[in-house]
């Protein structure tokens, strides 16, 4: 049993997708799919989590993840409190755990945490009361589990089976929590041909991403793939001296229409956003017919509803 699960197999915390059992991942994806609606349709709402409170504790910037966790909780009838780092006591020197204990005293049931420091979500999970769940909304370069799930859901909506897919993850793999969570979920779901494509300084350490083919040339990495997942250069995790030159990067690694033509004709293009148009991706591709980037955002709410429902189900049942 994974340490994020309860004795009955249900999920209590979601800090990483690493080693989560495939049936649990598939259950979350199935539930999220049942909550996904086309653009323009009315969002599903329920009162399943009425009386529960979800706190968003973000100490790193976020647009999509924070808003979609908030919408997900509200659409399930939960109350939501949002703590912005500038307003929180953490900047006054209060430790993260003191902030967490304060929230716990205020009857928080789930704590959604984004932090630039590795290990914060698991440290918090180790200290909270047994009825509190901790959900990572992005941990340093390490993990972004709900992003991994929404990426898997988006692919599942366009491709019949993971086992037969070729997926290229392209860009700043080294500093990317999105790539790491994608790796864990794609592996668990049986993707056989998973490639990572990056210039040598942005490749991960040799022990990571085991089993993935490594390509330093975009052209070979994209050849005949079904899915192209582009990543942002994580400048906030690099020293000034290591920042790649934007023009040079685009010339070698930018996804242009010509390069996308190397993938299968029905390949889909993904990006977790925020996008740097003209650095890692051309606007014609980002906004083009093969792009599913906006579907990813829409799926984010459905996935976060499924995750919140899963970790707080025992509350609604009781
Ligand atoms: N929004 C994603 C993250 O929080 C991707 C990115 O920032 O590039 O990791």
pLDDT value of position 318: 47
Residue 177 near ligand 1, beta carbon < 6 Å: yes
Quick check: CB of 232 below 6 Å from ligand 1?
yes
pTM here? 0.96
**Which of 147, 179, 183, 236 for mutating ligand 1's site (highest number of atoms within 8 Å of CB)?**
147
Relative to beta strand 193-197, strand 213-215 is: parallel
Three-class SS state of 273: coil
DSSP SS3 for 174: coil
| Separation of CA 274 and ligand 1 centre (Å) | 7
CA distances from 252 to 129, 175, 197, 216, 225 (A): 50, 19, 11, 10, 18
Identify the burial level of 36 via C-beta atoms within 10 angstroms of its C-beta, where 0-12 means exposed, 13-18 middle and 19 or more buried.
Answer: buried
CA distances from 243 to 16, 230, 236, 246, 282 (A): 28, 18, 10, 9, 20
Mean pLDDT of 3-32: 97
Asked if residues 85 and 57 have their Cβ atoms less than 8 Å apart, the reply is no
**CATH fold for the domain made of 145-292:** Rossmann fold (3.40.50)
230 pLDDT exceeds 70?
A: yes
What average pLDDT score do residues 276-300 get? 97
Give, for ligand 1, the residue of 174, 272, 273 to mutate: max count of ligand atoms closer than 8 Å to Cβ: 272
Fold match between 22-142+297-317 and 145-292?
A: yes
- pLDDT of residue 317 exceeding 60: no
Domain boundaries, the chain: 22-142+297-317, 145-292
Give pLDDT tens digits for 122-134.
999 999 999 999 9
* 307 sits in which H/E element: helix 293-317
Which of 180, 232, 271, 304 has the most ligand 1 atoms within 8 A of CB, as the residue to mutate?
A: 232
- Mean pLDDT along residues 263-289: 97
Has residue 140 got a pLDDT over 90? yes
Out of 3.40.50.1370, 3.60.15.10, 3.40.430.10, 3.30.70.360, which CATH number does the structure's domain 22-142+297-317 have? 3.40.50.1370
Q: Residue 247: pLDDT band by 50, 70, 90 thresholds?
A: very high
């Amino acid at each position: 049993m994974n340490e994020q699960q309860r004795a009955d197999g249900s999920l209590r915390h979601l800090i990483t997708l690493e080693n989560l059992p495939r049936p649990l991942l598939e259950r979350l994806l199935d539930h999220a799919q049942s909550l996904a609606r086309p653009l323009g349709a009315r969002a599903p709402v329920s009162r399943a989590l009425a009386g529960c409170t979800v706190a968003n504790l973000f100490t790193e910037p976020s647009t999509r993840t924070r808003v979609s966790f908030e919408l997900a909780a509200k659409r399930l009838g939960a109350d939501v409190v949002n703590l912005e780092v500038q307003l929180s006591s953490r900047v006054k020197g209060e430790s993260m755990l003191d902030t967490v204990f304060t929230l716990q005293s205020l009857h928080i049931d789930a704590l959604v945490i984004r932090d630039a420091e590795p290990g914060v979500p698991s440290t918090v999970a180790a200290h909270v009361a047994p009825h509190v769940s901790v959900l990572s909304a992005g941990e340093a370069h390490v993990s972004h589990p709900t992003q991994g799930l929404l990426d898997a859901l988006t692919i599942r909506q366009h491709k019949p089976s993971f086992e037969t897919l070729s997926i290229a993850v392209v860009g700043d793999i080294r500093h990317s929590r999105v790539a790491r969570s994608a790796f864990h979920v794609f592996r668990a779901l049986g993707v056989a041909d998973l490639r990572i494509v990056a210039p040598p300084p942005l490749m991960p350490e040799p022990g990571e991403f085991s089993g993935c083919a490594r390509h330093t040339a975009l052209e070979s990495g994209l050849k005949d793939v079904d899915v192209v997942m582009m990543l942002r250069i994580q400048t906030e995790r690099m020293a000034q001296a290591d920042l790649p030159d934007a023009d040079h990067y685009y010339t070698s690694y930018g996804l242009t229409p010509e390069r996308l033509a190397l993938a299968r004709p029905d390949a889909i293009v993904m990006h977790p956003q925020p996008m740097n148009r003209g650095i890692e991706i051309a606007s014609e591709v980002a906004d083009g017919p093969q792009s599913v980037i906006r579907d990813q955002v829409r799926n984010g709410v459905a996935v976060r509803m499924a995750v919140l429902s899963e970790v707080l189900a025992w509350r609604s049942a009781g």
